[in-house]
Structure 1
Amino acid sequence: MIGRVRTSKKTVSSLVAVGALVLAGCGDDGPPEPQTTAEQFVDAINSGSADAAAALTTDPAAASAALAGLYDGLSASGTVTATPDFAVESASDEGGSVTLDATWRFSTTTDGTEEPDGEPKQWQYDTTATATETDQGWRINWDPAVLAPGLAADSTVRYISTDALVTPKVFDRTGAELMSQQVVTLVNVDSTADPAVVASYLTPIVPTITAQSIAADQAQSQGNSVTLVSLRQSDLDPIAAELTAVPGVTLAPQTRLLTTDRALASPALTGVADLWQTQLDDNKGWSIQSLKADGSVEQLAGVDASPAPDIATTLDSGLQIKAENALASLPQQSAIVALQPSTGNVLAVAQNSAADAEGPIALTGLYPPGSTFKTVTTSAALDAGIATPDTILPCPGTENIEGRQIPNDDNFDLGDVPLHTAFARSCNTTMGRLGVGLPADALQLTAQQYGLGVDYVTPGLTTVTGSVPVADTPAARVEAAIGQGQVTASPFGMALVASSIAGGSLKAPTLVSGQPGVADVTPAPVDAVVAEQVKTMMRETVTGGTATQLQDIPGLLGKTGTAEFGPNNEGAHGWFVGIQGDLAFAVFVAGGESSAPALEAAGRFLR
């Protein structure tokens, strides 16, 4: 007997070349003819060349058809990639006996790579064959069972995927249903549909769909059917019969994961939906079935489906809707992110329709944070010991600091005041001077203590917190100290800063209960004393500083921010970060020109 021989996958062109050698016979020092033929046979199967493999059998036509059917049956209509790995287990030149070791690997990934969970589905078995010397050289005696056990000329083999036994639901932090799989129906029209008639049914439901927009879609479709909208069942039911009767209209129902409350929407739910789909896929079953000529089915391999677990999120549905309503009236791109300081739980992630058009800006949009970054600058100065809350510092209306002319808002001048007053009144000149006196990496390290500039891998959530580069020059530190220059932050990042100050420690963000994010760096712990001092200053900001319009809200702490942007600083974003009990949040209004729109949105959110 000849020992186990593993073969490597080759291209079809190399198979042809080696096949020619097989036909010519092997030299005295080469391997026996049955082994060589078997090696080329399995190489052709592994390369996906049915014809090349079939040519090495005694019945090429039947073998080619059987191989093509096997490839097709195991590929599950293109949704699954089936990758063969055949090998010569053993071969004998006496009687031409050959044993083949076969493994089929199945993947739902588009490129056929290993499944995300690292556990590829596979079907493994051994088969036997014999080889015969013919006028064309040695050939595998054709028998479908050479390819798979039990395979016959009148049977086929197929891969079947079975859905998870239970479809998961998504719940909010109170246990209320947040999302579930529901039926939606696509409304499709072709070029023969009357736009005015179709619009008469759809416009009352979706005002943006009009006869003109339908006609435009039809014109662009070049005669093909076009989908106008997908409707929930409750929207479709009153008009279903009428729509179905309109010539050129077809309705196509399908299932989707949707929010239970249609009024609720959040960019955070995109990641939750992806996680839901992953759990659904991970709990599907699969089987390899042999279909007999008499219609009977035999299972050859597989795994039973299992119940997919529900997903418990940290989102607060009521708070989420309040955040969405607080932003709805703003024409500018706007966002609110709310966290729970004691846990790091994500409570709400909201943005308005203008922001939705740009993507998930609440979680990944990067902007200069302006004066909200003074929470970091003040913390760094307190930690470095260059000032205390009561240190008297100058707050001139404008000052040239390291070649950069720094003005206060409307050039207000407070003279010499304690640091806590300069903070509450948002003195740029005071903060610029403090920044100059800090080490080059002080702002970066302090920001990281609060989570800004830290990247997290968080189940169900894709975020970017921001960037605070080392400020190597005094001029760079002046810019950074007032949240300008190279400093950027996302609304999520500034909510994390507020949360870390509120709780006196940095808590990893969490969207799926029990699955906190993992940071790419480990910052130094927050100085709880410093955080408490900054909280006191944030309270003063509301009671006697730049956020007094919110002083009716009990126990509110905050910091306003206006951040210039553009080549010539022609525009300004508006910010407000706040703390109320075990709630920390950031409000962002792009192009708000001042903090006023953000303050107004914060008021609507909290009141």
Structure 2
Amino acid sequence: MSAASAVVVAVGLVSACGSDETTDAGRVAGEFADAVERQDAQAASTFTSSPALAAEALAATLAGMDARSVSTVVDKPVEYSDGTASFTMKTTWQWQDDSTYATSTSGMVRKLSSGWKVQWDPSLLFQGMPSGARLQRIRTDARPAPSIDSRSGKTFMQMEPVNEINFDPSAAGKKVDAAIAALAASIKPIAPLVTAKVIAGQVDKANGQPITAVTLRDPDMKVLASDPERITGVTVHRTGRLVMNDRRLESPLEVGLTNYWNAIRDATAGWQVQLAAPGQRPRRLAGEQGPPGKDVATSIDQNQQLILGDSVVDVAQPAAMMIFDAQTGGVLAMAQNDAASAAKIEPALSYATGSVLRPVFDAVDRAVPGARDDTRAAHDVLHHYGLGVRFVAPGVSVPRDPTPTVSTARFSPDSFTASMLNMGALGVALARADAGRRESVAPYVINGATTKVDNGELGALTPAVSRDILGQMATIARKGDASDITNAPGLRALVGTNGPKGPGWFVGIQGGKVIVVYCDGDKSGTAALQVAQKYFRVSTR
């Protein structure tokens, strides 16, 4: 008898959920599809002839697809007199971005001693899927990746292949110490500071989880003392990363710039559904890809960045330094020493200012009647000069603590705090006033990206206040605390500390630039002057 003549149930379209199959075969097929729709691999496998194999394959595809939702539609099975039935199933995968992918598959239901079961076959997930394969959805990025460019148009940061040297202590077993020592010896020629002690510290901090000991560029791999992958527990993961084009450079701005770059990559990212089978390259089944993002133009001056890196290394306490274009407010460079990095000094975090801003408060006090009585007008003047407000500049690391930058309890430098961005904005406002400009501007690093200003507004500069502060700054540079600084013709400066333990500040205007130095700890005022002097000395070489 032919299969066609043995049909006892006609075909009809139903959804997996709430299906009204009237036969046992139809019920089982519907329950299987319903469990797939719920993304419950274990439950779906129980309706198949091979639960263990089905659970493994279903779990692999469900994890690989990582869908927001799955919907299934089955045809009522066509049941035959030999104890079998056939059905088709349409599965639609949907993700957070509303993209979808659908498959149409066919399967069999058989009556076994344990009852009706879906005959397990990977083709239930994708027609022709081989054993051990899975469906997966991956993110795709447009090529070429955008670069981050300096103010001159040269590449400042770019995506390059890198090698993550990973260590898994659990894989090393009882030979963890020996493996760490061998890894440190392997990478010593290129990363001598990543010692066995440093790696062991990373392992302890990770509570036994795998760690990345160091990330190296391709040329670095050629000078290693040995192949690290021969060490028990060590693997090398090749990936891509945004890195400095000039290997001599490093900057705290890398964090903010990388975040901005990642946002561009996220906005232009595409997707691809693949069939991944053992021993074969993944096969593209569907997907979409947008155009590559534009290169990111910034205000950064690579030469200034190099100079700043040399300027902050000679002091022991935390030291950070920023340079701004005195007319546009663009950040030309930022650098910090290892101590500042460990202390997590950030450009938008607020720190006590102490005596460094006394000339500013004195000038406002003289220009604004009743300033000592905490008039709103006095604080508005400070805001116009970039003090007391909070800057959120795209491409600059956002502060960890959103604490307001100033307390308005009284009009006094003793209770005032400011970030390096605030100090830079002050210097730029004064330089602009000296050039005849009437308005202050917010600092920025990415051309065309708007800096958000909170807790107040920038605005018109008061001529009398500007002249007063600039005059005091000239006196400080000529015969005050900054008078020992050389190689800085025309310098005007603010210098001060917040007591013996600091912090210490230097804010200078010179040669079309605003220089801000922040130092922490004992004798931080002297350290700030030392950093500033090193900058002017290196700048004139």
Partner of 2:255: 270
Partner of 2:153: 175
Partner of 2:503: 573
Partner of 2:535: 605
Aligned-pair CA distance for 1:338: 1.9
Where 1:550 maps in the other structure, the secondary structure is: coil
Q: 1:232 to 1:303 in 2, by over 3 A?
A: closer
Partner of 2:460: 526
Q: 1:252 to 1:38 in 2, by over 3 A?
A: closer
| Residues 503-556 of structure 1 deviation map (CA, whole Å, 9 limit, x = unaligned) | 353323322222232234561513252453233432233234432223752222
Partner of 1:73: 61
Partner of 2:80: none
Where 2:387 maps in the other structure, the secondary structure is: coil
Superposition pairs of residues 486-525 of structure 1, within 5 angstroms: 487-503=416-432, 504-520=438-454, 523=457, 525=459
Superposition pairs of residues 472-487 of structure 1, within 5 angstroms: 477=410, 480-482=411-413, 484-485=414-415, 487=416
Q: 1:133 to 1:454 in 2, by over 3 A?
A: farther
The answer to whether the aligner puts 1:454 opposite 2:389 as a matched pair is yes
Return the alpha-carbon distance in structure 1 between the equivalents of residues 531 and 482 of structure 2.
12
Q: 1:44 to 1:512 in 2, by over 3 A?
A: same
Where 2:503 maps in the other structure, the secondary structure is: strand
Native 8 Å contact 1:333 1:589 kept in 2: yes
Superposition pairs of residues 148-547 of structure 1, within 5 angstroms: 150=127, 158-161=135-138, 162-180=140-158, 181-184=160-163, 186=165, 191=176, 193=178, 206-208=191-193, 229-240=214-225, 242=226, 252=236, 254-255=238-239, 256-290=241-275, 299-304=284-289, 306-359=291-344, 361-374=345-358, 376-378=360-362, 380-381=364-365, 384-385=368-369, 436-439=372-375, 441-464=376-399, 467-471=405-409, 477=410, 480-482=411-413, 484-485=414-415, 487-503=416-432, 504-520=438-454, 523=457, 525-530=459-464, 532-533=466-467, 534-547=469-482
Aligned-pair CA distance for 1:368: 0.9
Q: 1:535 to 1:129 in 2, by over 3 A?
A: farther
Partner of 1:474: none
Return the alpha-carbon distance in structure 2 between the equivalents of residues 550 and 67 of structure 1.
74
Return the alpha-carbon distance in structure 1 between the equivalents of residues 13 and 209 of structure 2.
60
Where 2:431 maps in the other structure, the secondary structure is: helix
Q: 1:578 to 1:286 in 2, by over 3 A?
A: same
Native 8 Å contact 2:21 2:30 kept in 1: no
Partner of 1:83: 68
Q: 1:105 to 1:519 in 2, by over 3 A?
A: farther
Native 8 Å contact 1:444 1:468 kept in 2: no
Where 2:498 maps in the other structure, the secondary structure is: strand
Native 8 Å contact 1:376 1:443 kept in 2: no
Where 1:511 maps in the other structure, the secondary structure is: coil
Return the alpha-carbon distance in structure 2 between the equivalents of residues 67 and 267 of structure 1.
48
Return the alpha-carbon distance in structure 2 between the equivalents of residues 257 and 284 of structure 1.
16
Query: Alignment partner for residue 596 of structure 1, among 510, 526, 531?
Result: 526
Where 2:429 maps in the other structure, the secondary structure is: helix
| Residues 110-169 of structure 1 deviation map (CA, whole Å, 9 limit, x = unaligned) | xxxx4xxxx3543257889999999999x9977979966746687955225345432333
The answer to whether the aligner puts 1:559 opposite 2:494 as a matched pair is yes
Q: 1:213 to 1:333 in 2, by over 3 A?
A: closer
Superposition pairs of residues 581-592 of structure 1, within 5 angstroms: 581-592=511-522
Q: 1:134 to 1:66 in 2, by over 3 A?
A: closer
Q: Percent identity?
A: 26
Return the alpha-carbon distance in structure 2 between the equivalents of residues 581 and 40 of structure 1.
77
The answer to whether the aligner puts 1:45 opposite 2:36 as a matched pair is yes
Aligned residues: 503
Q: CA RMSD in A?
A: 5.0
Where 1:604 maps in the other structure, the secondary structure is: helix
Native 8 Å contact 1:453 1:468 kept in 2: yes
The answer to whether the aligner puts 1:61 opposite 2:49 as a matched pair is yes
Return the alpha-carbon distance in structure 1 between the equivalents of residues 21 and 209 of structure 2.
60
Native 8 Å contact 1:323 1:605 kept in 2: yes
Aligned-pair CA distance for 1:455: 3.4
Query: Alignment partner for residue 94 of structure 2, among 101, 105, 123?
Result: 105
The code of the aligned residue for 2:356 comes to: T
Return the alpha-carbon distance in structure 1 between the equivalents of residues 132 and 197 of structure 2.
55
Return the alpha-carbon distance in structure 1 between the equivalents of residues 122 and 442 of structure 2.
56
Return the alpha-carbon distance in structure 2 between the equivalents of residues 153 and 248 of structure 1.
34
| Residues 364-385 of structure 1 deviation map (CA, whole Å, 9 limit, x = unaligned) | 4432111233354245435524
Native 8 Å contact 1:574 1:594 kept in 2: yes
Return the alpha-carbon distance in structure 1 between the equivalents of residues 466 and 109 of structure 2.
84
Where 1:159 maps in the other structure, the secondary structure is: strand
The code of the aligned residue for 2:428 comes to: S
Native 8 Å contact 1:542 1:556 kept in 2: yes
Return the alpha-carbon distance in structure 2 between the equivalents of residues 99 and 274 of structure 1.
46
Native 8 Å contact 1:91 1:98 kept in 2: yes
What TM-score, normalized to structure 2?
A: 0.73
Return the alpha-carbon distance in structure 1 between the equivalents of residues 121 and 203 of structure 2.
51
Q: 1:316 to 1:3 in 2, by over 3 A?
A: same
Aligned-pair CA distance for 1:103: 3.9
| Residues 9-53 of structure 1 deviation map (CA, whole Å, 9 limit, x = unaligned) | xxxxxxxxx9xxx9xxxxxxxx88699999866653343223434
Q: 1:235 to 1:579 in 2, by over 3 A?
A: same
Native 8 Å contact 1:336 1:362 kept in 2: no
Return the alpha-carbon distance in structure 2 between the equivalents of residues 339 and 543 of structure 1.
22
Aligned-pair CA distance for 1:173: 1.7
Where 1:186 maps in the other structure, the secondary structure is: strand
Return the alpha-carbon distance in structure 2 between the equivalents of residues 198 and 297 of structure 1.
33
Q: 1:142 to 1:222 in 2, by over 3 A?
A: closer
Return the alpha-carbon distance in structure 2 between the equivalents of residues 314 and 514 of structure 1.
10
Return the alpha-carbon distance in structure 2 between the equivalents of residues 97 and 54 of structure 1.
18
What TM-score, normalized to structure 1?
A: 0.66
The code of the aligned residue for 1:183 comes to: V
